[in-house]
Amino acid sequence: MTDLSSKLFFAVLLVGWASSLNAKEQKFQVVSWPESGQPVLTFTFSRFKELGGASGKERTYTTDVTAKNLSSKRIAGAAFLLYVFDKDKARIGEGYMNVTDIAANETVKFQMTLRASGTPSSVSLSAAPSESRTISITVNSVPQGAAFKVDGREAGTTPKMIEIGNGKHILEFVKEGFNSGTFPLEITPHDVSGGSISYELGNSAHDTIELRDGSVLAGDLVSVQGMQVEVRVGGNTQTLDRNQIRRILLTERSPVSN
């Protein structure tokens, strides 16, 4: 072997050894879930890296996580609490971890950040409990003033702030003179208070007559004869003077088949 080839050989060997050593140094801990029985997921954590912005005794750390689905079925979603311990096995911090839509035998990678009051030495995890917490959310509609229900229960009139729990919900909106409608809403454990939703009601189900005194009638225009305008409101027919009316908005209706 020539001197040049010997140098190239040892250089490649050195690079490979350094890469292998670096990979070993980066791996922090491997945790399987559940701990007993047949594992479904395995998590590989890299060494925790301290970030800037320490607050008091707490410091912020980040770790790269590799999650692998060991089962033969797709995992739609799973949430976990990650506990961090120091070298004396004292718990110094915790974080929330969520994995979604992992196919069988698939591996996904993500990064998580948490705060700890010491140097992480080991971790453990447990399935996050089914949370019964609620969040505050403002429900609105266009136009405003619609009565609405949440999962079939009366909830008030828009706009209104409500407390709503995790899971899937159905909101129903009703406003006189407009088509009613429903809106599906899903609240996840990651959602926080302060959000809002707005539902746009359908076109008016009736003609709209705006009067000069500022009032509005929602009904059906029956006829316009000279200075008289007939309007059916709530099943009752009213006769108005044209001078009382600012404008009339007619709603398009499908022709009635005979």
Q: Minimum mean pLDDT among 48-57, 83-92, 135-144: which range? A: 48-57
Residues 6+ apart with CB under 8 A from 24: none
Q: For all residues of the chain together, what is the average pLDDT?
A: 80
Q: pTM of the entire structure? A: 0.45
AA letter at 118: G
Strand 195-200 to 134-142 pairing: parallel
User: DSSP secondary structure string, 177-237?
Assistant: TB--EEEEEEE-TT--TTEEEEEE--SBSSEEEEETTS-EEEEEEEEEETTEEEEEETTEE
**What would the pLDDT profile of 6-26 be if each residue is shown by its tens digit?**
444 444 444 444 444 444 446
Contact 246, 234 (CB under 8 A): no
